[in-house]
Amino acid sequence: MDKKGGSSSSSSSSQDTEVRKGPWTMEEDLILINYIANHGEGVWNTLARSAGLKRTGKSCRLRWLNYLRPDVRRGNITPEEQLLIMELHARWGNRWSKIAKHLPGRTDNEIKNYWRTRIQKYIKEPEPFPRQNSELNHSIASTSNHIHEVGSEGIESYSPSYAANLEAFPGPLPTESNDNFWSIEDLWSMQLLNNDGTNKIV
């Protein structure tokens, strides 16, 4: 059965049922921010109606979580974060939400976009994973629940000792699955460490 996704049937000609779509306006943002400031977040469908927004609860949730939330950080992906994203992706694949939990302030959408636009293209392999799925299987199996938060503790500063930091990163990685990682040379060749994506110094 169709579980009421984000689909908004516009068959109804009633005005009260029209749902706004597309980019959020500043007014909508302010309404959402203000409402959440007073009532808190959650119960998104009810929130959307109560706040008077002609948006779906999903849309409100997405906007809040990915953009409006005060603790969200956008842009300026640091080299540390780049490495963490690459490593966690190598470990877990496209589990963006899971990866995002290890990057405070970053959302799954941000990481997903970053990966696709900045990292994926540099991978020559047609496969999402460089090697067989053997390590993938038991990695997922072994990392079922306990996720210690904040991954920044494993990598504190990026320097010539990147490889050392990488190996020192705490995780269930077997040493034999080193093919999942990029070497420091690879990172430089990707020019990922050259800039953080903000300022282009020519």
Q: Judged by CB under 7 A, does residue 152 bind DNA?
A: no
Longest CA–CA span in the chain (Å) reads 63
Burial of 22 (0-12, 13-18, 19+ CB in 10 A): exposed
Q: With respect to DNA, which residue has the nearer C-beta, 17 or 161? A: 17
| Binding residues among 45-104 for DNA as defined by CB under 7 A | 45-46, 57-59, 61-63, 66-67, 74-75, 94-98
Q: With respect to DNA, which residue has the nearer C-beta, 18 or 167? A: 18
Binding mask 16-55 for DNA (x = CB under 7 A): -----xxxx-----------------xxxxx---------
Which residue, among 69, 59, 52, has the nearest Cα to 24 in the 3D structure?
59
Q: How far apart are CA 201 and CA 130, in angstroms?
A: 33
Cα distances (Å, whole numbers) of residue 135 to 65, 93, 129, 190, 195: 32, 11, 10, 25, 32
Q: With respect to DNA, which residue has the nearer C-beta, 117 or 137? A: 117
- Per the CB < 8 A criterion, the answer to whether 67 and 110 are in contact is no
- Residue 181 corresponds to which tokens in the numbers above? 């990682």
Min separation Cβ 168 and DNA, Å: 26
Q: With respect to DNA, which residue has the nearer C-beta, 104 or 197? A: 197
Binding interface with DNA (CB under 7 A): 1-8, 21-24, 42-46, 57-59, 61-63, 66-67, 74-75, 94-98, 108-110, 112-114, 116-118, 121, 197, 200
